[in-house]
Structure 1
Amino acid sequence: MSQEHSAPPPRYLGFVAGMFSGVAKNLVGHPFDTIKVRLQTSDGRFKGPMDCVLKTWRNEGLRGFYKGCTPPLVGWVIMDSVMLGSLHTYRRFLKENFFKSDAKLPLSGHCIAGLMSGLTVSMVAAPVEQVKARLQIQYDGKTKQYTGPVNCVSQLIKQSGIRGIYKGLCSTMIFRTNFVFWWGSYEIFTQWFKTNTSLSNPAINFWSGGLSASVFWIFAYPADVVKQVIMTDDVKNPKFKRWIHAVKWVYETRGLKGFVRGFGPSILRSFPANAAALAAFEAVMRTLH
């Protein structure tokens, strides 16, 4: 994405490459994500990340770590296609219309494009992430409310209509405003590696993707906790009517520590999953252009 070409790549190419990014991210990152969501949404069930890992393995086996995998496998292919495709499009739009005098898009342009892509992909991400989260917190047969992603979507629509599957849209958009930090730092890391190392382009993409994702999660994590709490709230009798109510609930019931619960698995996941995703994206962009 940071490479300069004699002719810019076609706009559709970012959407195509984003599909490959979504597959790579899901395969590498989903087990970490399951542990993160379970720690964020449960009260007293787990003592910590390792206890969650051991109990999940003991009670559910390997399949437990991939619960709710289908929605993001399909969804992240779509989400990364929309996110990275729109990011590529917004960067090109800003470069052609607002930064014409610059040889390349400045850092501020990358930050603005990141913000816009985050808000855009929220429309796809909200329903996908809600279904994923609801399936991930089904710990055993006794508490199993949904038989699968289709059944989950069906029940949500039956209970609350289309609004049901878009529960948490506002919190998703708030969470994804932190894309400013992701794509701004991605550009900073990319340029630093190009200037100060002799790494190949794929290696630069890998390290920049992993490091920038870690920066993103450091800033965005509290908003992610609030988002998950809202998305797994009871549909018929919701506890939270507004985003701020969920923020107050987390603080009052868990204290400040509640906003970083599950951070360990999240930060461990962020580097390998997003490094693989960004490397896949850039590789496809280079290959097809």
Structure 2
Amino acid sequence: MRNYKIEQKQEKESIGRLRGFIAGVASGVTKLTVGHPFDTIKVRLQNSGLDGRFSGPLHCLKTTIQKEGFRALYKGASPPLVGWVFMDSLMLGSLHNYRLLLQRNDPTIKLNLFQHALAGAGAGWTVSIIATPIEQIKTRLQVQYDQSTKVYSGPIDCARKLIRNNGIPGLWIGFIGTLAFRSWFCVLWGSYEVYSRWLRRYNMNEMMVNFLAGGLSANTFWCVSFPVDSVKNRFMTQPDVKPLHFPNLRSIARHMYQTEGINGFYRGFLPCILRSFPTNASAILVFETTMRFLKDF
């Protein structure tokens, strides 16, 4: 009887560790559906520099739809469709397990804000491993505006050409930038806990708490991390030639500052913030709801 109880407990703990990964799949699908059109506008503005292609987010949206059709807003969606499922599964699954680790596998232990932020940073570092090639392919496809700028016929062609020119490591060009950007997940998940505690004071429904705290924490995250994301994306989408025109993140950040000033680091910020709240609020709501649903199994 005792062995059966021990085995039952171990099985329950194993299932508990998998909950975050399963819930992350649902979150990834939600994030793509709601957020990818905003992301396309953001990436195009970040990479437009001073070429005058777009005067702002609305002009970018209008021009994109007029010249390329509505489907152009989902350019590069195939990598994140698969990628966001994998990324959110790994990110949220590892977040859940880092929390369990800090709780010493006792869910009744309440983590402090620093521990929530630490678990968030750990999740960001972990997911950077698969996020780098996915984001590189996505952003390269998103900045193909017409036949004159078209280099890749699709995600597989993009990956094949990157590997042909640089070997397998070519898919991880920009890894340091991804790592630096996703280190800010400490702010995302630390502030999520702050907002959640604050909202619960008003006796809100838990689903409403998840939605509002998810949106607010995402906006907080982007306010502090956006310049790093801009540098990372500009570095990833530069022409794949040898030697690279900008060999490292510092060189491209210096060039952006010298030619565009501080504003260069915030191109595309408006569509990013507009996307951030509904996308992440919905994704985190789906994640938390799925976690509660799976808790009963």
TM-score class normalised by the smaller sequence: over 0.9
Distance 2:180 2:55 in 1: 29
Distance 1:92 1:46 in 2: 46
The letter for the 2-side match of 1:73 is: L
Residue of structure 1 in register with 2:153 after alignment: 147
TM-score normalized by structure 2? 0.91
Is 1:241 matched up with 2:247?
yes
Q: Extract structure 1 runs of 4+ deviating beyond 3 A.
A: none
Distance 1:259 1:150 in 2: 30
Distance 2:197 2:109 in 1: 14
Aligned length: 279
Alignment of 1:17-56 (within 5 A): 17-42=23-48, 43-56=51-64
Distance 1:233 1:142 in 2: 15
Residue of structure 2 in register with 1:80 after alignment: 88
Distance 1:44 1:127 in 2: 29
The answer to whether the Cα contact below 8 Å between 2:19 and 2:291 also exists between their aligned partners in 1 is yes
Deviation of 1:144 after TM superposition, in Å, equals 1.4
Select the structure of larger CA radius of gyration: 2
Residue of structure 1 in register with 2:234 after alignment: 229
Is 1:250 matched up with 2:256?
yes
The answer to whether the Cα contact below 8 Å between 2:132 and 2:173 also exists between their aligned partners in 1 is yes
Distance 1:257 1:39 in 2: 12
Q: Which SS does the other structure have where 2:104 is aligned?
A: helix
Distance 2:196 2:181 in 1: 24
Residue of structure 2 in register with 1:265 after alignment: 271
The answer to whether the Cα contact below 8 Å between 1:118 and 1:177 also exists between their aligned partners in 2 is yes
Residue of structure 2 in register with 1:286 after alignment: 292
Distance 2:184 2:123 in 1: 11
Unaligned 5+ segments in structure 1 are: 1-6
Distance 1:191 1:108 in 2: 14
Distance 1:235 1:112 in 2: 35
Deviation of 1:260 after TM superposition, in Å, equals 0.7
The answer to whether the Cα contact below 8 Å between 2:103 and 2:109 also exists between their aligned partners in 1 is no
Distance 1:119 1:44 in 2: 35
Distance 2:241 2:166 in 1: 8
Q: Which SS does the other structure have where 2:55 is aligned?
A: coil
Residue of structure 1 in register with 2:171 after alignment: 165
1:15-61 per-position Cα deviation (integer Å, ceiling 9, x unaligned): 01001000000000000000000000013211111110110011011
1:170-193 per-position Cα deviation (integer Å, ceiling 9, x unaligned): 000001111111000000111111
1:46-87 per-position Cα deviation (integer Å, ceiling 9, x unaligned): 111111011001101111101001101110000000100000
1:154-210 per-position Cα deviation (integer Å, ceiling 9, x unaligned): 01001111121111100000011111110000001111111x222211111111111
The answer to whether the Cα contact below 8 Å between 1:164 and 1:235 also exists between their aligned partners in 2 is no
Between 202-211 and 29-38, report the one with greater CA deviation. Answer: 202-211
The letter for the 2-side match of 1:263 is: F
Between 169-178 and 241-250, report the one with greater CA deviation. Answer: 241-250
* Coordinate RMSD, CA, aligned: 1.4
Unaligned 5+ segments in structure 2 are: 1-11
Distance 1:91 1:162 in 2: 33
Between 236-245 and 178-187, report the one with greater CA deviation. Answer: 236-245
Deviation of 1:90 after TM superposition, in Å, equals 0.5
Alignment of 1:57-206 (within 5 A): 57-96=65-104, 103-194=109-200, 196-206=201-211
1:121-169 per-position Cα deviation (integer Å, ceiling 9, x unaligned): 0011100000000000111123211111111100100111112111110
Is 1:211 matched up with 2:195?
no
The answer to whether the Cα contact below 8 Å between 1:26 and 1:73 also exists between their aligned partners in 2 is yes
Distance 2:109 2:36 in 1: 39
TM-score normalized by structure 1? 0.94
The answer to whether the Cα contact below 8 Å between 1:171 and 1:223 also exists between their aligned partners in 2 is yes
Q: Which SS does the other structure have where 2:103 is aligned?
A: helix
Deviation of 1:252 after TM superposition, in Å, equals 1.1
